[in-house]
Each structure stands twice: as structure tokens, then as C-alpha cells.
Amino acid sequence: MVDVDDAMRTSAYSGGGKRRKKSDADKWEEKQSRVIEPFDPAEHALKEKGEAISMWIVVIYGVTVCVLMRYVFMPTLPGPERVLWLLPMLLSVTVPPLHRVLLPSEYYDLFTMSNWFRACFLFVFSWLALSFLLVNPPMADIAAPAVGGGLDIEITDGVESSRWSKGTYTLGLNQDTVDVVLGMGVRDNIDAANATMVASVWYHGELLKDSDGLVIGDLANGTVASHTEAIAAFDAVNGNWTRGDAKNTLTGDNLGPKVTPRAEDIGLAWDLGELGPGEYTPPSLLGPASAPAFSFGPEAGPGSTTRPRGPPRSPDWYSPGQNKLPMIN
């Protein structure tokens, strides 16, 4: 049996039991670690009150910036720009100066870097959260209307094949000319009927003309709902479109013509008479870089080359209270 006192004495006399003498620096650090920071209840309560006021300042600031960006600045832009998110992010550096102006100095002097970091984060979150609400349905619809399911023509003699791919509608013919009833569908998130559209067909750099030299390529200019004749012409086709019907991939149900596969799509059609082989530039809903084209003839193949077009039109991407359907001639 080992006595505890003997064991401690043996450990003290052994070489491995020597303790390192503490330096002055070690003693100072140990002393500092035992010091309790002073706590002033009155100062703490004052800072909590200042943080509550700061929260409302930052939230109101974020909401104000969001409303100005959405209803004042955004309608002046020709399209989605990086400045729409970059400017509000840069405005976060104005949060401390804003507090200096609005917050009494007795509160402002108590704030530290952690307070400013939280305030800037709250500003960005307030602006971003409200922005999501103001630019999405049902609050708003800033997405431009678009072509529902591409282009198509009514079933007619002389057409051997048809294909819509990457903005180009290609027809293969077995005769010199065919009767063309051009159809398309307009799609929008909220109100496709009130979307503004400008539609025209160009051939060899000019508006399409008939055999008598009369211009027939100027198809539409105004709201979709105002083109009652084009809507009636689409309905008169009664689903007999060359590309056929769209099918539900899961159930196999018929969704309607591929040119207007959704129930909310509004179909429009125009009788262009007899057209021969060539490349035509019909209405575009997606901008100059992706203007749809259709070409047909014995030599017509996938991926048209040149796309003659008339003077470009640059409609607004967003207009308060009015949906616009961007069309490129």
C-alpha cells in the first residue's frame, strides 16, 4: 500500500516533476483572464434602445430604396441591368452616415463594428425581400410576353416536312409555292390580352408584298386583344396546324396545338397568300439577337443563314401599368 504523502514527496524530488517558472508575461495574462469586464446596466439599456431605433431606420431605408428602384428607376431602363442590384448593395455603405444624421449621439457613440455589420445586413435583406415581392406576380409582372410555342402554318398541300428549332421554322416543299396561313401564340404571366405587340414579315429587306405589289407583311400593331381578325383567323384553323398537337409527357393527354400548347396562350393567324421558297423574318418576341425566322423550299434545312429585316424597333422591357410585347421587324 502506497502512502499518498510518500508519493507526493517522491514526485517532488524526481527530475520529471520540476515546474517551469512562470514569466511576468504569463502572470499578466493569467491575471487579465480573471478580470471581469465592468457592466453598466444603464449603458446597456441605452444601447439596446439605440439598436431598436437603428432597426427601424434600416428597415425604412431598405423599403424606401426598394420602392424607388422598382417604380422610379426600373422603368427608365431599356432592359435588365446589373445596376438594379449593384446600386442597392453599394448603398449599404451609407448606413453608418445615415445613423449619424438621424440617431442621437448618445446612441451613436455606443455602436461598434458588429452593430454596423448587422445594420448593413438588415438593410440588404429588407431591400432584397421586398424586391422579390414587388417584381413577381401577383404584385407585378415585369417579364416580357413571349411567343407561346413558336410558329406554325395551317396544313396545306405541298408541304413535306416542318420543324421548329432554335427560333427557326423550316418547311420542306415539293412544289414551287404553297398557301401560307401563319400562326403564333402570345404568352404572358398575367394578362396576355393587353400585351402590346408589333408584328411584321420581311422578305429581302422589305415588307412582304403580294403578287400585285401590295404590302401584306405589316401584320399587327397594338394590344393583342385588339386584333380580333387575327384571333378569329387562328380559331378558324380549328387546330389543323402542320406541327400537330402537343402531348403531356406523363399522361399522354392532348394539350392542344404545339403553337399554343397552354390554355392561356392567345393564338393569332394571318393569311399571307402564296409564298415561294426563301427565308422570311416574321415577328420576334425575344429581341434582335433571337428573332425567329422561317424558311421553306426544297433546299431549306435546319439553321437559316441570313435573316433580312427592316428597321429595328426597341420597345421597353417594362412599362408601368402596361405589358409590352417586344417585337423586332
For the chain, the structural domain boundaries read 41-134, 146-325
Task: Confirm if 172 and 300 have CB atoms less than 8 A apart.
Answer: yes
Look-up: residue for cell 437603428?
Answer: 54
Does pLDDT of 237 surpass 70? yes
Pairing of strands 168-173, 218-223: unpaired
Alpha helix segments (H runs only) across 165-216: none
Nearest-angstrom CA–CA distance, 281 and 217: 10
If DSSP states are collapsed to H, E and C, what string results for 86-108? HHHHHHHHHHHHHHHHHCCHHHH
Does pLDDT of 329 surpass 50? no
Top pLDDT among 17 and 96 is at 96
Over residues 138-195, the pLDDT tens digits come to 787 777 788 888 889 999 998 888 888 887 888 888 888 889 999 999 988 878 888 8
pLDDT for residue 211: 81
Share of the chain above pLDDT 70, in %: 74
Mean pLDDT of the chain: 78
Nearest-angstrom CA–CA distance, 79 and 149: 23
Over residues 222-233, the pLDDT tens digits come to 889 999 999 999
Does pLDDT of 14 surpass 70? no
CA distances from 243 to 163, 203, 281, 301 (A): 7, 23, 19, 16
What the block records as the C-alpha cell of 3 is 502512502
Q: What angle do CA 31, 43, 35 make, to 5 degrees?
A: 5
What the block records as the C-alpha cell of 109 is 457613440
pLDDT for residue 233: 94
Nearest-angstrom CA–CA distance, 192 and 131: 23
Q: Is 176 helix (H, G, I), strand (E, B) or coil?
A: coil
pLDDT for residue 296: 46
pLDDT for residue 305: 26
Q: Containing H/E element for 165?
A: strand 159-165
CA distances from 232 to 11, 51, 324 (A): 106, 64, 22
At 205, the pLDDT band (50, 70, 90 cuts) reads confident
Provide mean pLDDT across the span 285-293: 38
pLDDT for residue 54: 93
At 206, the pLDDT band (50, 70, 90 cuts) reads confident
Does pLDDT of 125 surpass 80? yes
pLDDT for residue 325: 36
Nearest-angstrom CA–CA distance, 84 and 135: 12
Does pLDDT of 234 surpass 70? yes
Alpha helix segments (H runs only) across 139-217: none
**What is the DSSP annotation of 251-280?**
T--EEEETTS-STT-EEEEEEEEEE-SEEE
Report the range out of 19-23, 138-142, 271-275, 304-308 with the highest average pLDDT. 271-275
Nearest-angstrom CA–CA distance, 262 and 270: 20
Q: Which of 6-15, 199-208, 215-224, 291-300 has the lowest mean pLDDT?
A: 291-300
pLDDT for residue 202: 85
Q: Is 329 helix (H, G, I), strand (E, B) or coil?
A: coil
pLDDT for residue 40: 74
pLDDT for residue 43: 81
Provide mean pLDDT across the span 228-239: 93
What the block records as the C-alpha cell of 100 is 449619424
Does pLDDT of 301 surpass 60? no
Please give the distance of CA 197 from its chain centroid, rounded to a whole number.
21
Neighbours of 131 (CB within 10 A): 20
Over residues 43-90, the pLDDT tens digits come to 888 889 999 999 999 999 999 999 999 999 988 887 778 899 999 999
Task: Confirm if 305 and 241 have CB atoms less than 8 A apart.
Answer: no
Does pLDDT of 9 surpass 80? no
Residue 303 CB-half CA count within 13 A: 0
pLDDT for residue 298: 44
Provide mean pLDDT across the span 113-119: 93
Over residues 213-222, the pLDDT tens digits come to 888 888 888 8
Top pLDDT among 317 and 239 is at 239
pLDDT for residue 306: 27
Contacts of 63 (CB under 8 A, 6+ apart): 126, 127, 130
